[in-house]
Amino acid sequence: MAPRIRYQYRRPGRDVTTYDEFLVLDRPDVKVLLQETYGSRELRAGETIIHEAGAPMVWYVFPARWHDIARFHLLDGRFSGWYTNLTTPVEMKDDVWSATDLFLDLWQPVMGDPQWLDEDEFEQACRAGWIDSATRRRVLNERAIIDLQVRQDAWPPPITKDIDLDQARALKQG
């Protein structure tokens, strides 16, 4: 059985949320986490439901990088797309990991064009002083790099396609 990780997710202006996840793959360049049940509310991109409450997620955490990526699913297990979350690099202390959300997210549906989400919240966070000017520049640089890779059909990274929900579940069992 895969070890459990308590992932503390900070979003400026909100309480810290802790997610209980399984570490199903542990490599120096990427950590793959399985969250069998996302118990929060459904997630949307505009009016489209992109992840249903109670559905599983597979997260790809890249140490020292300013993003993580998830494979989102619906309750019936259907894959709906990739969700890139711009964050501070993850801090890992034994089985407690943490990162701070930096508001900007890229949604890439299975069918359709990618779209950036929460741009207004990012700008509000910058104006409120929750994100300083150096971090703002770093976030916008990360976005530009990702945009370039999207245009080159090089985003998301191959690992997010190679390890799907079924494979993550198999890795969890050992």
153: left (phi over 0), alpha (psi -120 to 50) or beta: left
pLDDT at 28: 97
Segment holding 145, helix H or strand E: helix 133-151
Choose among 46, 25, 63: nearest CA to 162.
Answer: 25
CA distance 116 to 59: 18
| CATH among 3.40.50.300, 2.40.380.10, 1.20.1290.10, 3.10.20.30 for 4-173 | 2.40.380.10
Q: What angle do CA 1, 36, 55 make, to 5 degrees?
A: 165
* Mean residue pLDDT across the chain: 95
- What are the sequence ranges of the domains in the chain? 4-173
pLDDT at 2: 92
- What are 144-171's pLDDT values in tens digits? 999 999 999 999 999 999 999 999 999 9
User: What is this structure's pTM?
Assistant: 0.94
